[in-house]
Chains A and B, each alone.
Chain A
Amino acid sequence: MSGKINAVLAALLVICALSLVKSQYQARHLFIELERAQSQARQLDIEWAQLQLDQSTLGKHARIEEIARRDLEMTQLTPARTQYLTEGGQ
């Protein structure tokens, strides 16, 4: 009788030990994945900041004005050439 219990317990012990090994392996695996995802997040953050910076640099008013004047031959609006539409007006 006790021999049977021992056998069952031994089998249980082996199963537990193996599952511990497996879960430890899985934990490592997931950890590596997490690390990779986090570093990717950081990288994307940096890229986002870089892109915002580029947007601001390229959208500089000085640059827009220069391109508008030189390449697109635009001129500034004067009130004399503006027709204002007022709400409720005739």
Chain B
Amino acid sequence: MTRATSRASNRASSSAASRVAASKGVSFSKSPVLAVRLPTWRSRVVLFVLFAAFAALAGRALWLQGLTTQFLQKQGEIRYARTIELPATRGKITDRNGQVLASSIPVKAIWAIPDDVLQAPPEKLRELARLLDMSEADLRKKLDSDRNFVYLKRQVEQDVADQIAKLKIDGIDTRKEYKRFYPQGEVMTHVVGFTNVEDIGQESMELAQQKNLVGQTGSRRVIKDRLGHIVEDIGAKHEPHDGKDLVLSVDSKIQYIAFTQLKGAVEKFKAKAGAAVVLDVHTGEVLALANYPSYDPNDRRALTGAQLRNRVMTDSFEPGSTLKPITVALALDKGKVSPHTTIDTGNGRLQILDRNISDTKAHGVITVQQIVEMSSNIGTSKIALSMPAQDMWEMFTKVGFGQQPKWGFPGAVAGRVRPYKSWRPVEQATMSYGNGISVSLIQLARSYLMFARDGDTIPLTFQKSTALPAGQPIIKPKTARDMREMLEMVVSGKDGTAKQARIPGYRVGGKTGTAYKVENGRYAMPRKYIGTFVGIVPLSAPRFVIAVMIDEPTQGGHFGGQVAAPTFAKVAENALRASNVPPDSTVTEIVAPADTGSEAM
């Protein structure tokens, strides 16, 4: 204590002494205390360091502003510039009259961050579950996930999405996507097909035309302000390109007629399935392509393979007697026979090597016309055996059998025609009436185009076409006319196998076919049948070729003349009326005899 006090008093006395010195006229700067000489290099060093620091700053500034400009500009841009994706819609599909068959409408995918959503009050979650059309337990199960991004439901319609947004649950957000709607549903689905949830075509024309239908998304760079409003565009804008619209050749009216009549027939004959196709004779357009069973493309949860199957395009079967006119036409064209040449079909049995060919009954000596009318296997076999196998094979190939169709339809089958070099005579005979050869229904329908068109054939198309395609001649026009006459006799002749194919007011020509079904490489036992009919209407000036196939009819007959011919008649009658085709016959009342249709196989 005493020591501290003494030091303080010491200091006080010394400062008093210096003040005294200043007051004596010695200036502060001249004070000898301050006269310390530092070496000059020290101040130089300081000066140099200061300059160097400034130089470094200047260099750094130059580096950032002048040389490596990108980094900072990029960082700046990240803070205000945004790239906005401009969505493009998938093209519409319409029928030939402009009716919409498939169209994309913007919808929302609802996604969630599970941890955030589970914080929400339970009544809100219950409401969310109700809006999403799922049970609360299901919703909770979806949210019970380790991931931090879960789709709750995709393709939710806009108004529901708006209601969900109104609930204001944290962690729920939406993403824009498109949903494809098919207003014509099951009627048209085998032509149009469908897309998956990613808007990619999966079936039929949606798949075949995927490249044209799909749009190209665009993008633009914009400056956004603090509130998220777009202030201005920067840089170039990539315009989105919507997918091209697709106009199909199909006529929704005729398609509906074909579908409902086919459905009625399949139900009436308790058949496994049925298929029908309507072709335009002049343009080769496919006006209708119907399959039953079918499915609703808007709701594919319970879709089965049988429903999905497109029996017109992707199934091949033994056509049976519907092939006879082709063999006969070839013989007529080569001059082997004329329509009135007589052929002895004997007692209804013909043995070729070890195989028997039989007719339903003994026809005796009949003309070529009657062979077609009564569908005689023996007659057709005899005509076929009078020709070289190569000619028949060439004929089959020319009309398109065994050839992969190139009409822009996915999954179209080629059918099967074996090379003629491996044909045995009995096979040549059976092939002449459609056994041992397989074709698809559309190939069969197309082969009849040459009869309807005076001897030439044209490629088919699934898109509306304005130009008439150039025909490729196969048989002489005279042969085609003769064949039309024979085909008319099948329907209206007294021994015709297709009396039920008659239509009041119109002349009809066509041919029935009945074949055993092949299962696992051999004919199914007990017998299963496929009844077919291919017809041309109206015969005076052909407009349509219509082919009908009924698969495994089990009730009310199984011959083509009993199951397929009446179905054909109903489709044709309504299609002709719907297309305003004037009648070409005066017969308006038809009482079809019930005992028609038996046919040899």
Instruction: Spell out A's residues near B (CB within 8 Å).
Output: 27-28, 31-32, 35, 46, 49-50, 52-53, 55-57, 59-62, 65, 77-80, 82, 84, 86
Contact = CB atoms under 8 A, between A and B. Distances in A.
B105 A46 contact: yes
Nearest to A55: B100
A84 B105 contact: no
B181 A79 contact: no
Interface string B242-260: 0000000000110010001
Interface in B222-274: 229-233, 252-253, 256, 260
Contacts of B103: 49, 52-53, 56
B183 A35 contact: no
**Of residues A53, A61, A78, which shows the largest number of chain B Cβ atoms within 10 Å of its Cβ?**
A61
10 contacts: A28-B231, A49-B103, A50-B105, A56-B99, A56-B101, A60-B184, A62-B187, A65-B260, A78-B504, A82-B505
Given A31-B232, A49-B103, A56-B100, A86 B582 contact: yes
Chain B interface bracket (under 10, 10 to 19, 20 to 34, 35 or more): 20 to 34
Contacts of B101: 56
Contacts of A65: 260
Interface secondary structure of B, over-half rule = mixed
Contacts of B505: 79, 82
A56 B100 CA distance: 6
Nearest to A54: B183
Given A52-B100, A60-B183, A84-B582, A77 B252 contact: no
B104 interface: yes
Contacts of A56: 99-101, 103, 183-184
B183 A53 contact: yes
Contacts of B577: 77
A61 B253 contact: yes
Nearest to B252: A61
A31 B92 CA distance: 31
A59 B105 contact: no
Contacts of A55: 100
A52 B504 CA distance: 37
B183 A28 contact: no
B589 A80 contact: yes
Interface of B: 89, 92, 99-101, 103-106, 181, 183-185, 187, 229-233, 252-253, 256, 260, 504-505, 577, 582-583, 588-589
A79 B104 CA distance: 42
A55 B231 CA distance: 39
A56 B233 CA distance: 39
B105 A79 contact: no
B504 A59 contact: no
A-B pairs with lowest CB-CB distance, top 9: A61-B256, A56-B183, A79-B505, A57-B183, A56-B100, A79-B504, A79-B588, A52-B100, A53-B103
Contacts of A80: 504, 588-589
Contact of A49 (B104, B232, B233): B104
Nearest to B503: A79
A54 B256 CA distance: 18
Nearest to B505: A79
A32 B504 CA distance: 67
A32 B232 CA distance: 9
Contact of B106 (A31, A46, A57, A82): A46
Nearest to A43: B106
Contacts of A60: 183-185, 187
A78 B184 CA distance: 27
Contacts of B184: 56, 60
A35 B230 CA distance: 8
A55 B583 CA distance: 32
Contact of B232 (A28, A50, A52): A28
Nearest to A24: B232
B583 A84 contact: yes
B584 to A, nearest CB: 11
Given A78-B504, A79-B583, A86-B582, A53 B100 contact: yes
Given A49-B89, A77-B577, A79-B588, 20 more contacts: A31-B230, A31-B231, A35-B230, A46-B105, A46-B106, A49-B92, A49-B103, A52-B100, A53-B183, A56-B99, A56-B183, A60-B184, A60-B187, A61-B187, A61-B253, A62-B187, A65-B260, A79-B505, A80-B504, A80-B588
Nearest to A50: B105
A61 B103 CA distance: 18
Contacts of A57: 183
Contacts of B104: 49
A49 B589 CA distance: 46
Contact of A62 (B229, B256, B582, B583): B256
A53 B583 contact: no
Nearest to B574: A76
B558 to A, nearest CB: 28
A83 B536 CA distance: 24
Contacts of A46: 105-106
